[in-house]
Amino acid sequence: MMTRNLKQPVLVIGIGTEFRCDDCAGLLVARALHASDLPPSVRVLEMKGDGAALMALWKDEARVILVDAITAGLPPGSVIRIDARRELAPSNLFSTSSHSFGVAQALAISLALNELPPYVTLFGIQAGNFCVGRGVSPEVLKAVRDTSEAVRCELARLELVEDCAETQSPRPLDRFVKENHIEQE
């Protein structure tokens, strides 16, 4: 799909654990992105979600995209997209987190310390099952595919745009927005 370098490097972090069913959604998105044709300026990592490790990873980055399973009270497989520079990620999205110091806290602390990258986008995939074990629900598997495509589309848009104004963040595909019940600003 993309072969040219982006104007700025992008770090994509898929967060989760394989042993809590739908909690592996972020990891699956990262693996799907690894399998696609991304420019060399895009790094894709898998993390368990330790907040301190996340803060260390993104501290000196210009653009970061995070993907994690959430508990937003939505139907399983629903996806939300948050511009973390414009609004804080509610800590209750990660209320079932197995991470001792999680994503929402890491974002808030980095912002308070003025160490949050200029562009941070969070994709949250509503999980249906955080039980111990393996196996991902069909709704979450579909959301993983859709979110992988949405991240690729954001990367494609970054490649085409010289400088994004802070008030204009890249948007996922209209189809992605409609199918996953995301409210547009």
Q: What domains are there in the chain, each with its CATH number? A: 10-175 (3.40.50.1450)
Strands 42-47 and 63-70, how do they pair?
unpaired
Residue count of the chain: 185
pLDDT over threshold 90, residue 141: yes
CA gap 123, 77 in Å, rounded: 12
Mean pLDDT score, 119-131:
90
pTM, full prediction:
0.78
Please check whether residue 137 is in contact with residue 53, taking contact to mean a CB–CB distance below 8 angstroms. no
Mean pLDDT value of segment 132-144:
89
> Strands, E, within 10-156: which ranges?
10-15, 42-47, 63-70, 79-83, 119-126
pLDDT band at 174 (very low <50, low <70, confident <90, very high): very low
